[in-house]
């Protein structure tokens, strides 16, 4: 029998050598796989330095013949340590601890990212890996990825008994030494004197020592950064290194229990003994968190620091339910972090020998437990749990301010490094310990920080400083802060995006010649009397309408939507940016666009008197506003007029106007009322949220007054037809693409959501709230009135809105048809189609509709369920964040408008705690907490809290839920932080 043994010597091409690697990997299911992979080692991977002339010929070319030019500069920047200039070769730890440093605009250029390092970063943290990849694409930063494991000279085989980390460290060192000698040869060949140093950056002492032994130039992160100009600022961006953490470990005692191992947690969750869910902290009580787990209807309660065991709001945690004797009712007390822990010292926390729970916190909790045992309040005690491990951290960057008291007063001007507390804007996030050399400068500023770690020996998470946004309370800093806090992409559009715009710019016009390719498949609707109705001052006009009476007595109604998909082609840079942004964000004084201005406010915007491309939905409606037929077509329209809601209302009401356009609007008005009546009869909800408008001074845009928004019939007119268009399009898209239509649904809220509110209404007002169906809810909401107080109904609606689920985008293939239902609108199927300028979902719906009517083929990304799901997930988050950012902006401006004023207004009690109550002031749409302690001038007042009757008595006063009372509104600068807050007090 002939031998099948083969020799490795015979290789396909002379420039490569074959090697192989074998490794084991564990799958999520617990299965272990053995992976065998080939490796082709080669000698034609360039060093990519502009100094080197031999590597230039090696530069690889793709199929299209494009060659990548050398990345690394011939004259890299020098520092005090390396005056001849230097290339950086960071190891994995350097990237893990100091990614912010590498991302800093003015530091760390000419960096060689080794393949070994890239791979390790990917293993350790996917988000950091993506940030690193983004850096390598940033031309100005000159990051070059060197595939050292594919180059023959730098490839390292793992030795017997060597750990994978040691092998990787050795690979890094070998690559450094190769680069060093390679560059020397290159410099010699050029006969220039200056040879840049190849500096290995590491945080690992052992690795550094070995590098020095090998005669390499190596530096610790801290040492390296200290040699840079502006070292103080840059040093703060480096997370505390492992060294520092190691030395601290020895003396510190563990204050938190240890986490369970990942495999133990997974088995526990699978077996049902442990539970997994997202940790969310109560906005009123920072010591109490809740987690919704699939096994229980009601959320599990996590009380106190020890039980929440280093979980931060938003983390995905694993819980163990506590024994029944520790179950309790949800907190009825307001506890804010800065009240209890004001005097803690950030610098030396181990001296305060109180362990993880401070004495004050313990007392606060104790009172809670006592009451929970004392009587069965607000229903039964609920299961409590403790965190035994974290599956996934969802830490992001946090905006906050430095706690003044944590800064050593004598050190305010000094440059010495000290540890300070940063108080995040988001109350649910604990204080963050940050080491900084610029504490003095940062006081009174908005700062951006990130959390690095939360070790067992530290009461608070440890983070590092990223940058300062500016003075507290200045408009710029506060706006940027809230954009960052809600993760809104607000940077100007990059050039690659602007390159996708039509070359004609503002001069772009609908081609006059109807033979032009732009006209292909478009209907000429220019002779229709179309008009748009929008809020005053609106420049991004998405939609326009028309109606006319047909000879048969029916009406032709058209909704014309800006044809954004004509300008934004799938998968180009502009489309990618838009899908990332997801939505336009409206702040009080600012709009952060999803699409560049040129499109949003000009080319796509359906401005009056000019021709524009549109996507039209045309219906024939009969006298009862029932749809006879619907057609969808791309079109060209010319809007006759752009009305504001008010002006449109005036025009309709003005009987002297009898022109055709006004007649059309009257038809629309009549039909919209019928549509609305039908929708209401079907059980659509009329919910309310407190909306206010800021009146600003035109010159300075300083807020001068706050008004609640007025709703006119014309608002409803536009809304009705937009809903009709959305529903029609949803049906069409779904029938064309049953698996991949992008739709929007609103799930019916679980019954338990309404229990509390229903009970409150019953006890206080003897009203019944039914929530069996949206119709029942809508009807019972109508009956929830208080004859003496017209606002009471709105208040109930606001509260009911908060019990709802939030609507979400989804891909039709992921849900069964009955789940498509939009609860609030009482529609079987729904999507967003009518605002493509400001919502990405609408743009996708446009593309699907265009394909459904055979106007153009559907792009591949819209046929892939997984891609669409990712898009939906992102736009859902963006949508919510945009709303939150908008609300936060209004809040800030309301605060500014009230600055320095003292007003007395009507308020309503929305919620009662045992030591305070929440009052809602409809005039300004603000909600504020009134604490008994403040009423008593700083001392706790004797009070009786009746959880069953929802009342709180103190002194002679008794406050009840839903009670209308007079409150004084003033603003107050907090002493510790200089932060302005609205303060409510009883009159």
Return the exposure string of 493-519: e unless at least 16 CB atoms fall within 10 Å of the residue's CB, then b.
beeebeebbeeeeeeeebeeeeeeeeb
CA nearest to 210, candidates 253, 172, 155: 172
Nearer to other proteins, 5 or 253 (CB): 5
Query: Does the footprint of other proteins cover residue 610 (CB under 8 A)?
Result: no
Q: Is the dihedral of CA 699, 703, 708, 709 positive or negative?
A: positive
Query: Does the footprint of other proteins cover residue 34 (CB under 8 A)?
Result: yes
Cα angle at 343 between 339 and 346, to 5 degrees? 120
- Kindly state the tokens that stand for 13: 């091409």
Nearer to other proteins, 62 or 553 (CB): 62
- Kindly state the tokens that stand for 330: 């949800």
Query: Does the footprint of other proteins cover residue 939 (CB under 8 A)?
Result: no
DSSP letter for 753, please.
Answer: H
Nearer to other proteins, 35 or 353 (CB): 35
As a whole number of angstroms, the distance between CA 228 and CA 961 comes to: 61
Query: Does the footprint of other proteins cover residue 89 (CB under 8 A)?
Result: no
Query: Does the footprint of other proteins cover residue 827 (CB under 8 A)?
Result: no
- What is the smallest separation between the CB atom of 88 and other proteins, expressed in angstroms? 18
Query: Does the footprint of other proteins cover residue 145 (CB under 8 A)?
Result: yes
Q: Rule CB under 8 A: choose which of 298, 362, 867, 979 binds other proteins.
A: 867
CA nearest to 840, candidates 533, 468, 564: 564
Query: Does the footprint of other proteins cover residue 149 (CB under 8 A)?
Result: yes
Distances in Å between the Cα of 570 and the Cα atoms of 805, 865, 879 are 32, 16, 21
As a whole number of angstroms, the distance between CA 153 and CA 101 comes to: 31
Q: Which of these ranges, 104-112, 113-121, 343-351, 883-891, lies near other proteins under the rule CB under 8 A? A: 113-121
As a whole number of angstroms, the distance between CA 546 and CA 549 comes to: 11
Q: Rule CB under 8 A: choose which of 18, 246, 376, 580 binds other proteins.
A: 18
* Own/partner long-range contacts of 268-273 (Cβ < 8 Å, ≥24 apart): 268/318, 268/320, 268/388, 269/318, 273/320
Residues in 671-710 at the binding interface with other proteins, rule: CB under 8 A: none
CA nearest to 595, candidates 556, 621, 566: 566
Q: Rule CB under 8 A: choose which of 56, 77, 119, 470 binds other proteins.
A: 119
Q: Rule CB under 8 A: choose which of 14, 24, 28, 37 binds other proteins.
A: 37
- x/- letters, 546..585, toward other proteins (CB under 8 A): ------------------------xx--------------
Q: Rule CB under 8 A: choose which of 50, 79, 115, 154 binds other proteins.
A: 115
- What is the smallest separation between the CB atom of 39 and other proteins, expressed in angstroms? 5
- What is the smallest separation between the CB atom of 392 and other proteins, expressed in angstroms? 15
Q: Which of these ranges, 145-153, 535-543, 885-893, 955-963, lies near other proteins under the rule CB under 8 A? A: 145-153
Query: Does the footprint of other proteins cover residue 9 (CB under 8 A)?
Result: no
- x/- letters, 431..470, toward other proteins (CB under 8 A): ----------------------------------------
Q: Rule CB under 8 A: choose which of 382, 644, 793, 861 binds other proteins.
A: 861
Query: Does the footprint of other proteins cover residue 353 (CB under 8 A)?
Result: no
- What is the smallest separation between the CB atom of 155 and other proteins, expressed in angstroms? 9
Query: Does the footprint of other proteins cover residue 13 (CB under 8 A)?
Result: yes
Task: Please give the full DSSP string across 774-800, using - where no structure is assigned.
Answer: HHHHHHHHHH--BTTBTHHHHHHHHHH
Distances in Å between the Cα of 741 and the Cα atoms of 631, 765, 809 are 18, 45, 10
Query: Does the footprint of other proteins cover residue 513 (CB under 8 A)?
Result: no
Return the exposure string of 96-106: e unless at least 16 CB atoms fall within 10 Å of the residue's CB, then b.
bbbbbbbbbee
- What is the smallest separation between the CB atom of 25 and other proteins, expressed in angstroms? 9
Size of the site for other proteins (CB under 8 A): 51
Query: Does the footprint of other proteins cover residue 964 (CB under 8 A)?
Result: no
- What is the smallest separation between the CB atom of 12 and other proteins, expressed in angstroms? 5
Write the CB contacts of 967 (distance below 8 Å, at least 6 apart in sequence). 904, 905, 906, 907, 919, 921, 928, 930, 984, 985, 986, 987
Nearer to other proteins, 65 or 937 (CB): 65
As a whole number of angstroms, the distance between CA 706 and CA 728 comes to: 38
SS3 sequence of 33-83: EEEEEEEEEECCCCCCECCCCCHHHHCCECCCCCECCCCECCCCCCCCCCC
What is the H or E stretch that residue 546 is in? strand 543-549
Do 497 and 575 contact (CB within 8 A), yes or no? no
CA nearest to 120, candidates 155, 84, 165: 165
Query: Does the footprint of other proteins cover residue 354 (CB under 8 A)?
Result: no
Q: Rule CB under 8 A: choose which of 14, 28, 57, 64 binds other proteins.
A: 64
Query: Does the footprint of other proteins cover residue 63 (CB under 8 A)?
Result: yes
Query: Does the footprint of other proteins cover residue 68 (CB under 8 A)?
Result: yes
Q: Rule CB under 8 A: choose which of 14, 24, 28, 38 binds other proteins.
A: 38
Nearer to other proteins, 556 or 869 (CB): 869
Name the residues that contact other proteins, by CB under 8 A: 1-2, 4, 6, 10-13, 16, 18, 20, 31, 33-42, 45, 60-64, 66, 68, 115, 118-119, 122-123, 133, 136, 145-147, 149-150, 570-571, 859-861, 863-864, 866-867
């Amino acid at each position: 029998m002939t031998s099948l043994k083969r020799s490795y010597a015979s290789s396909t091409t002379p420039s490569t050598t074959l090697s192989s690697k074998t490794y084991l990997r564990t799958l999520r299911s617990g299965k272990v796989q053995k992976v065998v992979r080939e490796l082709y080692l080669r000698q034609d991977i360039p060093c990519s330095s502009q100094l080197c002339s031999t590597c230039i010929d090696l530069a690889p070319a793709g199929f299209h013949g494009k060659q990548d030019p050398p990345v690394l500069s011939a004259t890299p920047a020098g520092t005090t340590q390396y005056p001849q200039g230097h290339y950086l070769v960071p190891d994995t730890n350097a990237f893990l601890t100091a990614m912010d440093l590498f991302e800093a605009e003015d530091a760390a250029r000419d960096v060689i990212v080794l393949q070994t390092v890239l791979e390790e970063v990917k293993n350790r943290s996917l988000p950091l890996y993506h940030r690193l990849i983004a850096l390598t694409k940033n031309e100005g930063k000159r990051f070059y990825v060197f595939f050292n494991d594919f180059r023959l000279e730098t490839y390292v085989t793992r030795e017997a008994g060597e750990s994978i980390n040691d092998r990787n460290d050795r690979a890094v060192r070998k690559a450094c030494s190769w680069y060093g000698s390679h560059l020397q040869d290159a410099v010699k060949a050029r006969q220039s004197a200056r040879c840049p140093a190849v500096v290995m950056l590491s945080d690992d002492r052992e690795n550094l020592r070995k590098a020095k032994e090998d005669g390499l130039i190596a530096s610790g992160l801290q040492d390296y950064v200290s040699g840079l100009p502006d070292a103080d600022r840059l040093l703060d961006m480096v997370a505390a290194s492992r060294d520092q953490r190691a030395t601290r470990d020895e003396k510190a005692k563990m204050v938190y229990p240890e986490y369970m191992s990942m495999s133990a947690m997974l088995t526990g969750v699978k077996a049902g003994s442990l539970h997994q869910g997202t940790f969310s902290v109560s906005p009123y009580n920072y010591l109490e968190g809740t987690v919704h787990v699939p096994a229980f209807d009601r959320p599990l309660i996590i009380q106190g620091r020890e039980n929440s065991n280093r979980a931060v709001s938003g983390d995905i945690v694993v819980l163990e339910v506590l024994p029944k004797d520790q179950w309790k009712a949800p907190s009825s007390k307001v506890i804010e972090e800065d009240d209890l822990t004001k005097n803690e010292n950030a610098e030396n926390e181990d001296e305060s020998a109180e362990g993880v729970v401070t004495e004050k916190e313990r007392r606060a909790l104790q009172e809670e437990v006592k009451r929970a045992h004392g009587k069965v309040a607000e229903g039964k005690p609920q299961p409590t749990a403790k965190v035994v491990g974290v599956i996934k951290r969802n830490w992001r960057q946090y905006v906050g301010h430095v706690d003044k008291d944590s800064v050593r007063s004598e050190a305010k001007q000094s440059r010495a490094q000290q540890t300070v507390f940063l108080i995040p804007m988001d109350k649910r996030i604990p204080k963050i310990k940050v080491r900084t050399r610029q504490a003095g400068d940062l006081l009174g500023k908005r700062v951006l920080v990130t959390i690095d770690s939360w070790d067992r020996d530290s009461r608070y998470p440890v983070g590092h400083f990223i940058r300062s946004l500016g003075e507290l309370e200045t408009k710029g800093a506060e706006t940027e802060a809230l954009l960052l806090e809600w993760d809104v992409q607000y940077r100007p559009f990059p050039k690659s995006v602007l390159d996708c715009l039509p070359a004609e710019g503002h001069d772009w016009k609908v081609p006059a010649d109807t033979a032009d390719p732009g006209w292909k498949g478009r209907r000429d609707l220019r002779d229709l009397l179309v008009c748009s109705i929008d809020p005053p001052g609106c420049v991004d006009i998405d939609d326009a309408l028309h109606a006319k009476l047909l000879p048969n007595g029916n009406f032709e109604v058209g909704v014309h939507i800006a044809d954004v998909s004509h300008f934004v082609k799938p998968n180009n840079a502009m489309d990618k940016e838009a899908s990332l942004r997801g939505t336009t964000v409206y702040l009080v004084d600012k709009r952060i666009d999803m699409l560049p201005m040129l499109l949003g406010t000009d080319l796509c915007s359906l401005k009056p008197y000019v021709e524009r491309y549109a996507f039209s939905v045309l219906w024939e409606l009969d006298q009862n506003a029932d749809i006879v037929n619907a057609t969808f077509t791309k079109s060209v329209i010319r809007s006759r007029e752009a009305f504001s809601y008010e002006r449109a209302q005036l025009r309709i009401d003005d009987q002297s106007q009898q022109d055709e356009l006004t007649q059309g609007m009257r038809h629309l008005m009549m039909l919209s009322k019928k549509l609305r009546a039908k929708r209401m009869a079907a059980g659509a909800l009329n919910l309310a949220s407190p909306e206010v408008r800021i009146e600003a001074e035109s010159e300075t845009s300083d807020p001068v007054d706050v008004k609640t928004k007025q709703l006119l019939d014309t608002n409803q007119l536009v809304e009705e037809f937009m809903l009709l268009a959305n529903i029609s399009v949803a049906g069409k898209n779904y029938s064309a693409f049953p698996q991949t239509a992008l739709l929007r649904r609103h799930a019916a809220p679980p019954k338990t959501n309404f229990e509390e509110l229903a009970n409150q209404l019953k006890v206080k007002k003897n009203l019944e709230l039914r929530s069996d169906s949206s119709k029942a809810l809508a009807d019972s909401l109508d009956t929830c009135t208080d004859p003496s107080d017209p606002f009471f109904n709105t208040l109930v609606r606001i509260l009911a809105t908060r019990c709802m689920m939030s609507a979400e985008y989804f891909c039709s293939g992921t849900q069964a048809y009955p789940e498509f239902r939009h609860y609030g609108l009482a529609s079987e199927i729904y999507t967003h189609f009518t605002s493509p300028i400001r919502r990405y979902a609408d743009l996708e719906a446009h593309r699907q509709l265009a394909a459904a009517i055979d106007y153009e083929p559907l792009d591949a990304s819209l046929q892939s369920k997984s891609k669409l799901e990712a898009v939906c997930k992102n736009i859902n988050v963006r949508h919510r964040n945009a709303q939150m950012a908008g609300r936060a902006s209004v809040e800030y401006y309301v605060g500014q408008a009230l600055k320095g004023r003292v007003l007395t207004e009507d308020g309503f009690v929305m919620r009662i705690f045992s030591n305070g109550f929440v009052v809602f002031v409809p005039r300004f749409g603000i909600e504020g907490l009134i604490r008994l302690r403040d009423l008593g001038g700083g001392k706790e007042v004797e009070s009786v809290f009746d959880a069953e009757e929802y009342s709180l008595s103190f002194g002679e006063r008794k406050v009840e839920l839903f009670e209308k009372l007079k409150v004084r509104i003033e603003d107050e600068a907090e002493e510790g932080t200089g932060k302005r807050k609205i303060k409510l007090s009883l009159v």
